[in-house]
Structure 1
Amino acid sequence: MEPKQEEEEEEEEAAAEAAAEERRKKQKRDDMNEPKPDTTREAEAETETETSNSDTRRHFVLVHGPCHGGWVWYKLATLLRSAGHRVSAIDLAGCGVDLARIEDLHTFDEHVAPLMEAMASIPEDEKIVAVGHCFGGYALSLAMERFPKRIAAAVFATALMPKQWTSPASTLDEFFQRDHIESLMDCQLSFDQDRENPLASYTYGPKFMATIMYNCCPPEDATLATLLARPSGLYLEDISNETMLSGENYGSVARVYIISKQDKLYTEDYQRWIIETNPPKEVKEIEGSDHMLMLSKPQDLCNCLLEIAETYV
């Protein structure tokens, strides 16, 4: 190879290396000047989302009526949880899958102990929406008396809603005056002759449930109820105590009543009597629902509860 040609090739290689080095320097400058992802802002956005979800997530505590259990809320609980909320469907003692036997429960306090334990476990700074159905309105009322600051709204869904400083049983007395024992059909009653109030416990019969309580429900729900129903006590001596509920505690909690329009057990007239004698802050109505409104109109009940939570929590 001629010296001149060799020199030219060396110059070309040097030029190529210089060009490559220039490209590397330019890429490095570009990388340094390129905007970096705002990871701080992304983290803040995630935190804001979590906070927002926490702000809108509500806790609903559901209290069933007699002869039933927490299972009766299965449709409503599914809807509320699907909407992002927390649900506690309580089994009162001797009900649902609770292991206590009705024969071993002698006081109303023993009957409602699982609800009181659940309420005691709620953080003091948390506000819940508590819902009581039928006779479960009495259990709800006692929870209001003992934990008034933890309940943002107490919802009585076609439920017994007693007045403070009077016998809670007076609300039930009115029911029995309007209804007669002959209308109980195939319900089973158990009596204790040694007590001043002898009716110790009762169980709803299949015909009574299908005709009077589940008249707007899918028949499968009535069948389920006949398979799961357990005897319930009335605890008349305890709920006749005029000092059971006070204005300072029970009376300080916002109450909402939900009328079930086609209820054949607690008729609309009876529900309106409850409301007139002890007016709540708000009244809502559900059309086409029977006594078991959580099963016959679960979406309507869910909508009502979400509106209540939005207003009071």
Structure 2
Amino acid sequence: MEASGGGKHFVLVHGLCHGAWCWYKLVPMLRAAGHRVTALDLAASGAHPARLDEVPSFEDYSRPLLDAVADAGEGERLVLVGHSLGGLSVALAMERSPHKVAAAVFLTAGMPCSGTHLGLTSEEFNRRITPEFFMDSKTMVLNTGQGHRAAVVLGPKLLAAKLYDRSSDEDLALASMLVRPGSQFVDDPIMKDETLLTEANYGSVKKVFVVVKADAAMSEGFQRWMVELSPGTEAEEIAGADHMAMLSRPRELCDVLLRIADKYGCE
């Protein structure tokens, strides 16, 4: 989706296996409030033409976002919104182009802290879940130019029970048709680089974490652990939403985002 409209400029970043399509309810709400919106497909996601085995690294996976932020107009400062795994792509964009970002919103998302490696939150998430967490999801091994990489195809039972459990049947059906294989890139060297996220860049951007209290995929306790990991991070809450809060509670999420943008004077 291309940006349109005036006002503030929101850039929306999807999570694992999803695409720009998952923001379809939120985009018109933000535009109706007078703001510009860009919903991105990361590499090999949504309608992006690449296959996952053609994406060599997490940085390449995040390239559509990194380029969009870097190419923002002179003096333009964006509101980045990352959902789930998309939070790590947002963190990378903050480090690369902090002067282009007025505020970063982590919607029940991976949110690392300065001075730790990018993959810390994914490692902790995987440590806390049980082997049964992924239910009927399928794992696959990709043959890439950098060797083998694990990927996952989210199963319909997992989607229904842990991601879309408070969303409509129509949204669950849409997701079942549109999700693509995804990877957490856990073995990518960038995920293990403890010097990557600096206080001068990543740490200088205002961060707001949106806690989704009824999230069946990412527990409230884990979400609050990430907030505590980064002192100074503000927290908002949304009650009654599932992991896909942009679909199950779009109006509540829109109101939160408008408050954040107003508070930080993003132009």
TM range (shorter): over 0.9
* Larger RCO (CA within 8 A; separation ≥ 6): 2
- What residue in structure 2 maps to residue 186 of structure 1? 136
Deviation at residue 226 of structure 1 after TM alignment = 0.6
- What residue in structure 2 maps to residue 240 of structure 1? 192
- What residue in structure 2 maps to residue 276 of structure 1? 228
CA contact (8 A) 1:199 1:234 kept: no
Relative to its length, the structure with more helix (as a share) is 1
Q: Which amino acid aligns with 1:205?
A: G
Q: Which amino acid aligns with 1:125?
A: G
| Among 253, 276, 294, the residue aligned to 2:246 | 294
- What residue in structure 2 maps to residue 106 of structure 1? 56
Deviation at residue 69 of structure 1 after TM alignment = 0.3
CA contact (8 A) 2:53 2:143 kept: no
Q: Percent identity?
A: 44
| Among 59, 69, 91, the residue aligned to 1:141 | 91
CA contact (8 A) 1:257 1:280 kept: no
1:206 equivalent to 2:169? Answer: no
Matches within 5 A, 1:19-168: 57-168=7-118
Distance 1:296 1:280, change over 3 A: farther
> TM-score, normalization: structure 1?
0.79
Listed one character per residue, the Cα deviations across residues 284-312 of structure 1 (whole Å, up to 9, x for unaligned) are: 00000010000000000000000000001
> TM-score, normalization: structure 2?
0.92
Structure 1, unpaired ranges of 5+: 1-52
Which SS does the other structure have where 1:200 is aligned?
Answer: strand
Distance 1:189 1:58, change over 3 A: same
In structure 2, C-alpha distance between the alignment counterparts of 1:109 and 1:271, rounded to whole Å: 24
Task: Report how many residues are paired.
Answer: 259
In structure 1, C-alpha distance between the alignment counterparts of 2:143 and 2:192, rounded to whole Å: 18
In structure 2, C-alpha distance between the alignment counterparts of 1:83 and 1:275, rounded to whole Å: 29
In structure 1, C-alpha distance between the alignment counterparts of 2:117 and 2:85, rounded to whole Å: 15
Distance 1:197 1:138, change over 3 A: farther
Which SS does the other structure have where 2:108 is aligned?
Answer: strand
Deviation at residue 180 of structure 1 after TM alignment = 1.7
Deviation at residue 279 of structure 1 after TM alignment = 3.0
Deviation at residue 191 of structure 1 after TM alignment = 3.5
